[in-house]
Chain A
């Protein structure tokens, strides 16, 4: 349902993506792992046109686009089929939790207000925030804000949700509530592309794992294989390092 081929992106002289390929099938949960600075965020941003890639092909629902020269109209149309969850939540600061969820439905998708509010309340209930519907982002904890952001993403009934390190800005004790919501979403069959540092989430929830380093995909495959029998030495080294780090710093939520 989503395929990108040979995505390249430079910032000035710095080549951040050096030809990345990626496939996500309907219902897949694909985790992207990799050290900081390897281009994971840039890849997601290029796929959703927040950055303009220098080169590359995007195939979405069988429609092919040349990244870098996709017409505005198509960008707008594709964005309505996708949703994005940011590392720093990016909730609309002047809107309540419910308004954050309904805004895109009413304004972009022209859904009648009553219908949008019903969908909004359902989405907030799913992330366990029914009682906070009239709170502004500034009145919510980081974990709650990220759950509102996930509710905003799923209320639009997108074909795929992109997550960029959704728990990295959170205090360790708040990551669990966000990961639980994401796991539930995966169980419901939502297609997800998730950049994450949470190895246990990648191992147990994602169907596929992609390991990126230095702007290229080093290894990718079913999560069982990537975690169980990593083919590349660099993947093994990364997994060992991360696991050692996470055992001591984070409690396993699962």
Chain B
């Protein structure tokens, strides 16, 4: 490897990492938090079979799981201004990522809720608790424990998918890398470099996932 290339890699590293820390991670954290709120709400509505809202949730999930993320980004960022709704790139990305991720996670949470034995809800009733009290204290915590590994996987997938936001001019890590490539013409080294940064992020999340699973799994440990 020649000195010039090493220089470019060293120079570009902070220029890639910085948008990673300042854009990719905040985008992921914000969108995933919103996605969780959407997912839990949509899953609970379906679990309780709330009329009308259940159908609305099914429709929402059907649309967002059935169309490409990139198309959704383009519709919101490039399409909406046509009907007078102009959204800045970053908020547009947050909206689309949270809706898209929310649709997938809603299915994960719903399946997890349904896997909780029916006897748990009945035991809550017989202990004098209401439906909502039992859901909040007994059923949802158990479901979230079940859903945790799948939700973690979705989060890790989403960190990488945020690179698509470069297509709607969000200056996240991948966008930053493309800019440097255009100036230096070292695509191979630079794209590998940004790939390694994504790998670093994913690895940290995977570590956090296994720590989280250990903590949450306490009650599932069997004796002997």
Contacts and interface: CB of A to CB of B under 8 A. Distances in A.
Interface in B123-182: 123-130, 133, 137-138, 141-142, 145
A136 B221 contact: yes
B138 A79 contact: no
Contacts of B142: 93-94
A165 to B, nearest CB: 14
B119 A76 contact: no
Given A86-B119, A90-B120, A108 B219 contact: no
B122 to A, nearest CB: 6
B90 to A, nearest CB: 38
Interface string B65-79: 000000000000000
B140 to A, nearest CB: 10
Contacts of B117: 90
Q: What does DSSP make chain B's interface, helix, strand, loop or mixed?
A: helix
A88 B220 CA distance: 17
Contacts of A152: 127
Contacts, number: 78
Contact of A103 (B127, B130, B222): B127
Nearest to A139: B223
A104 B145 contact: no
B78 to A, nearest CB: 46
Interface in B177-197: none
Interface string A63-106: 00000000000001001101110101011111110000001100
A83 B126 CA distance: 6
Contact of B129 (A49, A83, A103): A103
B129 A138 contact: no
A107 B133 contact: yes
Interface size class, chain A:
20 to 34
B128 A109 contact: yes
B133 A79 contact: no
B43 to A, nearest CB: 17
A165 B218 CA distance: 30
B218 to A, nearest CB: 7
Contact of A50 (B122, B133, B137): B122
B218 A136 contact: yes
Interface in A126-150: 135-140
A48 interface: yes
Q: Which of A48, A90, A94, A96 has the most CB of B within 10 A?
A: A94
A11 to B, nearest CB: 15
A156 interface: yes
Nearest to A86: B119
A132 to B, nearest CB: 10
Contacts of A84: 122-123, 126
Contacts of A86: 119, 122-123
A31 to B, nearest CB: 20
Q: Which of B120, B123, B138, B222 has the most CB of A within 10 A?
A: B123
Nearest to B140: A94
A86 B126 CA distance: 10
Contacts of B123: 84, 86, 90-92
A80 B126 CA distance: 8
B119 A156 contact: no
A68 B129 CA distance: 20
Nearest to B145: A94
Interface of B: 117, 119-120, 122-130, 133, 137-138, 141-142, 145, 218-223
The 7 closest A-B pairs by CB, nearest first: A104-B127, A108-B128, A84-B126, A90-B119, A90-B123, A136-B219, A139-B223
13 contacts: A48-B126, A50-B125, A88-B119, A90-B122, A91-B123, A92-B138, A93-B219, A94-B219, A103-B137, A104-B129, A107-B127, A107-B129, A139-B223
